Structure 1
Amino acid sequence: MYRYQRRYCGPLQAVIFDWAGTLVDFGSFAPTQVLIDVFAEQGISISMVEARAPMGLAKWDHIQALGRQSAVAERWQARFGSAMTDADVDRLYHAFMPLQVQRVADYSAPIAGARECLAQLRARGLKIGSCSGYPRVVMEALLPHAHAAGIAPDIAIATDDLPAGGRPGPWMALENVQRLAVSDVSACVKVDDTVPGIAEGLAAGMWTVGLAASGNAVGLTYAQWLALSAAEQETVQQPARDSLFAAGAHYVIASVAELDAVLDDIQQRLARGERP
């Protein structure tokens, strides 16, 4: 007779990655710069800090959240004489999409250590999933360039692939579980550079690893990052670390280049019967 095991104590089975700021596009510039340009076309000046604040959400939701920021809302009101409506969000989104498709390849360079990280996961026998705040049309523009550069997860779920929607809900992460045929969500690790991405992994019952240096919160190019001293690097990434830990991340590291040691620790915790 089958006996249900309450605690999964087996091996890790899969790692599920975000894309921009996690596997490619150090500093996560592809979404933010296009948003700045789209708002500029409407006569609204948006700073990089403002554009980055809702990062991790689906892009329609990102635009809506950006327009609801008090300072941006004030500028919109002054420019148009009324608050931003859903129809305005639709208009901005439709202006955003072709520009994002056009430019996403420009930001498709792998993050340092990402190729090696994926190779280590293959060597461990782990399945590799991914999901993104990008819609499918943008993912289809990004994937050929990423694959040619050696970044090729087993699957890639876009935010509009599922009727339930995207982050911070668990649906994209759970779709990875189904398609990868993972037997227990606690055998999965979600890796992301944003708070909504960490929330997604937690909602799906997974271990979560936040990325402080390579992602949206620090927002530096790789060259700018390398130009900093070790002490300066620690200083600029500390707010990102604090934010990701506050969101509930089980671990926070600088980038995927440091993931291998974290997986060793998670495997030991699983063996002791711990759950995310």
Structure 2
Amino acid sequence: MTETPFTHLKAVVFDWAGTMVDFGSRAPMGAFVEAYGRLGVEISIDEARGPMGLPKRAHIAALMADPAIAARWRAAHGHAPGEADIDAVYDVFVPLNEAVVTDYADMIPGAVETVATCRARGLRIGSTTGYVRSIMERLTPIAAAAGYVPDNLVCAGDLADGRPGPLMMYRTFADIGVFPPAAVVKVDDTEPGILEGKAAGTWTVGLSVSGNMVGLSLAEWQALGADEQAARRAEAEAKHRALGVDYVIDSVADLMPVLDAIEARMAKGDGPSA
């Protein structure tokens, strides 16, 4: 009997910061705060985290649209923030992020092993990111030295549009030669990254603990008591569930049982949630 293309998964597409590297997705946060600070406007780490996962210029635009930040910008500069102001922050932000990204380049525990197991199952490994290519040019050699080399890389700015739309996923499908989308899993820690997968028609797996929604380093997370960990995990899981994600796990280290569950559902004719 000939097996249908929908019986088994063909690929997993991973985000980068908070998913495969940089537990807590901390590298961009100080750069956002510093970039605004250099232009006379104070923002908090929590505010900076809000739009995480978007391409970085879009992230800055989303921050500028926040009424509180816009009011601070008006007070500092005498006018509401516009496109030129977004560009000004972006031009300061990118070199700052380039400078610090290598300080937050440790692989998330279990990431390399998970990818090796995926490859042993015959799965292709795709990657998309909200980072621009100049930042990734600093990060990818460190990841490669640690044993992580995905089959492709699509960066913010590579295409006419990025997250939360599907174009970076479409490019990934073409790059790694996989189809249909329902045979692909997108793994991400951010809202725009999950919505990117859903827009493209893939299965989606949200990461609750290792990424932006908790936002703590591994050491900070491990230092929490069990009750505090449970509360923060539950809060992050609820955010993912509200997006209609198919599965939520703590980190990429917990992915393999989910892939088994997805393939069991595929064998019954199930597909990703709409």
Same fold (TM > 0.5): yes
Q: Distance in 2 between matches of 1:64 and 1:211?
A: 25
Q: Deviation of residue 8 (structure 1)?
A: 5.0
Alignment deviations for residues 83-131 of structure 1 (CA, whole Å, 9 cap, x no partner): 1110011111111111111211111100111111111111111100000
Q: Give the total of aligned pairs.
A: 270
Name which of 223, 232, 235 aligns with 2:231: 235
Kept in 2, the 8 Å contact 1:8–1:186? The answer is no
Q: Specify the code of the residue in structure 2 equivalent to 1:237.
A: R
Q: Distance in 1 between matches of 2:90 and 2:40?
A: 16
Query: Gaps (5+ residues) in structure 2?
Result: none
Q: Distance in 2 between matches of 1:151 and 1:102?
A: 21
Q: Deviation of residue 55 (structure 1)?
A: 0.5
Give 3-state SS (helix, strand or coil) of 1:129's partner. strand
**RMSD, matched Cα:** 1.3
Q: Specify the code of the residue in structure 2 equivalent to 1:35.
A: F
In the alignment, structure 1 residue 251 sits paired with structure 2 residue 255: no
Alignment deviations for residues 56-100 of structure 1 (CA, whole Å, 9 cap, x no partner): 111001001111112111111111121111001111111111111
Kept in 1, the 8 Å contact 2:6–2:182? The answer is no
Aligned partner of 2:164 in structure 1 is 168
Aligned partner of 2:83 in structure 1 is 86
TM-score, normalised via structure 2 length = 0.96
Query: Gaps (5+ residues) in structure 1?
Result: none
Name which of 211, 216, 230 aligns with 2:212: 216
Aligned partner of 1:118 in structure 2 is 115
TM-score, normalised via structure 1 length = 0.95
Q: Distance in 2 between matches of 1:88 and 1:241?
A: 35
Q: Distance in 2 between matches of 1:54 and 1:207?
A: 22
Q: Deviation of residue 247 (structure 1)?
A: 0.8
Name which of 188, 203, 227 aligns with 1:207: 203
Q: Deviation of residue 183 (structure 1)?
A: 2.6
Percent of pairs with identical residues: 50
Q: Distance in 1 between matches of 2:6 and 2:269?
A: 5
Q: Distance in 1 between matches of 2:179 and 2:236?
A: 32
In the alignment, structure 1 residue 270 sits paired with structure 2 residue 271: no
